[in-house]
A and B are shown apart, each in its own frame.
Chain A
Amino acid sequence: MPLARDRHKRLYGLHSWSGILFAWFLFVVCWSGTAAVFVEDIVTFEDPTLRHSVPADATPDIDADLRAAHAELSALGRIDYLIVDFPRDRMPFYWIRGGAVVEGEGLREIERKFHPGTGAPLPVRGDGAAHWILEFHTDLMLPNPLGRTLVGLAGIVLGLAAITGLFIHGKLIREFFTLRLMRSQRLKWQDSHKLLGVITLPFSAMIAFTGAYLGIIAILAPIIAVIAFKGDTDALVEAVVGAPLEPVGQQVAMISLSDIQAMRVPGLEDGPYRVIANHYGDAAARFDVLFFETEDLATTQIHPVGGATGAPVDAPRLTDPGPANRIVNALSPLHFGTYGGMALKWIYGVLGLGLCIMTALGTMLWIERRRYGSEGTKSDRFYEALSRMNIGICLGFPAATIGLLGFDALYAGAEAARTVWTGTAYFGLVLLTVLFALLHTDGYAAVRRGLWGLAGLAVISVTANLAVHGWPSGRGDVQSVMACLIGLAALTALSARWLPQGRPTIRKRVRRVATDETGGPSPAF
């Protein structure tokens, strides 16, 4: 159905301003999300201690370590959480972590790692590139719920751009086959933007919805529920998660972690991967034992047992999830592509890259039409600065992510300071790339050199990892990250080779220029 001319114009305006106003933000979120798809593999890529396998049937006694962690947390204040992760393929160690609310200070967290065979304490590695890549995508490294909400808003903007794009570029089939590679650069960008929009439409719609849900719901759901409960937050919490478990104050011995590790659930292949200890040491303690689901889009089955007896405990909200829970539980695997193995991650990676390129092309088109076309009312200097900034951001964040993988291998400082230095390296690389782009008068040359730089960074990162950690024999996940980096290096090098050396011709600009009161052109910015 053809759209009325006025409506088409309005939707085009909405598509443009929502896209342009948030383009850089959207690009950063899309790019970090594309990298975050591989985060489980990057963890093993960066940490060689995770590359060994878990010894079969070895269940060392770490109950004493759990009791020690519990005692340490109790001395700090009210225990907020206490979790034990059992060794598995991607995390071959016992991992005890907990948090206690210290009065006047807030939450203080501890973590301990133990060898899967011997139970000996392992050094705790600081959070490196993988942690940064994931946290930057989900929270922008900002406190919760601010960062999470902002990322969720990117999902809403992406959804809005996808829907309006669908309406304004209504001829999907024709645009799918339109790629005028022999025409002008701007037409190539335009056709590529539309083609990528059509190809990635189902993917971007899914990413927009799941991303918006996972992001904004952290802040909107409590607001909506508090309004419904007229401010009674205790009643709200009880309604959603059930009545809180109360301790009885009688200290008793807890069941052994090796007994929990030996638990099996009919229909599930593996044993538990995690136990959450509620009121550890108390007669009313409950252990929520978590198993990976065999259904791909469901993540976890929870089986609560008594902490003192090990007998199953009735907790219907945990054990009998309804259809809504199943849908909500499926959103995170759907968003991060964790439900279909490495092949699916590669598909997600390619589509995510397509989404990034489409966003960058949209911004380039918008600026180009104003800098060298007949649209826009700002000065040349304004659009030129915008263009350079766009190049800096669209090259800077990929450069920072790729460079971070090499930096992590070369980092030799204290583990406690790893995250700080990771962040410094990340933003340092972004800043350097933006400066590099701002100093270039010819955008084409800047992009060409920048792409060569990206290819070089990817090769350096793989080389640094190999030199420091050695060849990952038998680790398909690590080899896959390396293949991904080499593939990216080849792609960017080919693109750099294919691009023109510089802007072909500077055409004279024929357009409206905003005038100030004296009738002269308005100043830049």
Chain B
Amino acid sequence: MRLLSCLLLSTLATIFLSAAILLKLPGPFDQKALWVSLAVPLIWLGFMLHAYWDERRWRTVAVPSGAAALGIALVLTSAAPQV
């Protein structure tokens, strides 16, 4: 379960959460895109480490799944970015 979370769920959570951050952060899009892209490796590593850090096994699945679900919800309920 931790392995699944580390390899798969962390990747999905990183992608969807980063997309949501990109939509919700204020500021010019090109600058935002660069800041988010800089944060991507750190977010990904954070989720991977969490998969083996947390004592509770269910939480290692719930946290990245929740983050991915939140990201998807925010993307679907937001308008496309204004350029």
Q: Which residues of A contact B (CB under 8 A)?
A: 4, 6-7, 10-11, 13-14, 155-156, 159-160, 163-164, 209, 212-213, 216-217, 220-221, 223-225, 227-230, 232, 235, 238-241, 317, 322-325, 327-328
Chain B contact patch, size range: 20 to 34
Expressed in whole angstroms, the minimum distance between the Cβ of A237 and any Cβ of chain B is: 10
- Is B16 within 8 A of A232, CB to CB? no
- Is B15 within 8 A of A156, CB to CB? no
- Is B2 within 8 A of A10, CB to CB? yes
Q: Look across to chain A and name the residue whose beta carbon is closest to the beta carbon of B78.
A: A228
- Is A156 within 8 A of B41, CB to CB? yes
- Is A159 within 8 A of B30, CB to CB? no
A-B contact pairs, 28 of them (CB 8 A): A6-B55, A11-B52, A13-B52, A155-B41, A156-B48, A164-B52, A212-B41, A213-B38, A213-B40, A216-B41, A217-B37, A223-B15, A224-B36, A224-B40, A225-B22, A225-B33, A227-B15, A227-B16, A228-B80, A230-B80, A235-B80, A239-B81, A322-B31, A324-B34, A324-B38, A325-B34, A328-B37, A328-B38
- Contact among A6, A156, A238, A322 with B44 in the assembled complex (CB-CB below 8 Å): A156
Expressed in whole angstroms, the minimum distance between the Cβ of B38 and any Cβ of chain A is: 6
| Known pairs A221-B40, A224-B36; A163 contacts B45 (CB<8 A) | yes
- Given A14-B49, A240-B33, A324-B35, 10 additional A-B pairs, CB 8 A: A11-B52, A160-B49, A164-B52, A224-B15, A224-B18, A228-B23, A239-B30, A240-B30, A324-B31, A325-B31
Which residues of B lie under 8 Å from residue A239 when comparing CB positions?
A: 29-30, 33, 81, 83
Which residues of A lie under 8 Å from residue B42 when comparing CB positions?
A: 209
- Is B34 within 8 A of A224, CB to CB? no
Expressed in whole angstroms, the minimum distance between the Cβ of B44 and any Cβ of chain A is: 6
Per the 8 Å Cβ criterion, residues 35-83 of B in contact with A are 35-38, 40-42, 44-45, 48-49, 52-53, 55, 75, 80-81, 83
Which residues of A lie under 8 Å from residue B36 when comparing CB positions?
A: 224
Expressed in whole angstroms, the minimum distance between the Cβ of B71 and any Cβ of chain A is: 8
Expressed in whole angstroms, the minimum distance between the Cβ of B75 and any Cβ of chain A is: 6
| Interface of chain A, main secondary structure | helix
Expressed in whole angstroms, the minimum distance between the Cβ of B67 and any Cβ of chain A is: 14
Q: Which residues of B contact A (CB under 8 A)?
A: 2, 6, 14-16, 18-19, 22-23, 28-31, 33-38, 40-42, 44-45, 48-49, 52-53, 55, 75, 80-81, 83
Expressed in whole angstroms, the minimum distance between the Cβ of A209 and any Cβ of chain B is: 6
Q: Look across to chain A and name the residue whose beta carbon is closest to the beta carbon of B20.
A: A228
Expressed in whole angstroms, the minimum distance between the Cβ of A29 and any Cβ of chain B is: 15
- Is B15 within 8 A of A220, CB to CB? yes
- Is A209 within 8 A of B41, CB to CB? yes
Which residues of B lie under 8 Å from residue A240 when comparing CB positions?
A: 29-30, 33
| Known pairs A155-B41, A221-B33; A235 contacts B19 (CB<8 A) | no
A14–B52 Cα distance when bound, in Å, is 7
* Most chain B beta-carbon contacts within 10 A, residue among A155, A221, A241: A221
A209–B46 Cα distance when bound, in Å, is 13
Which residues of B lie under 8 Å from residue A223 when comparing CB positions?
A: 15
Which residues of A lie under 8 Å from residue B31 when comparing CB positions?
A: 322-325
A155–B48 Cα distance when bound, in Å, is 14
- Is A10 within 8 A of B52, CB to CB? yes
- Contact among A155, A156, A164, A213 with B37 in the assembled complex (CB-CB below 8 Å): A213
- Is B53 within 8 A of A11, CB to CB? yes
Q: Look across to chain A and name the residue whose beta carbon is closest to the beta carbon of B45.
A: A159
A155–B40 Cα distance when bound, in Å, is 13
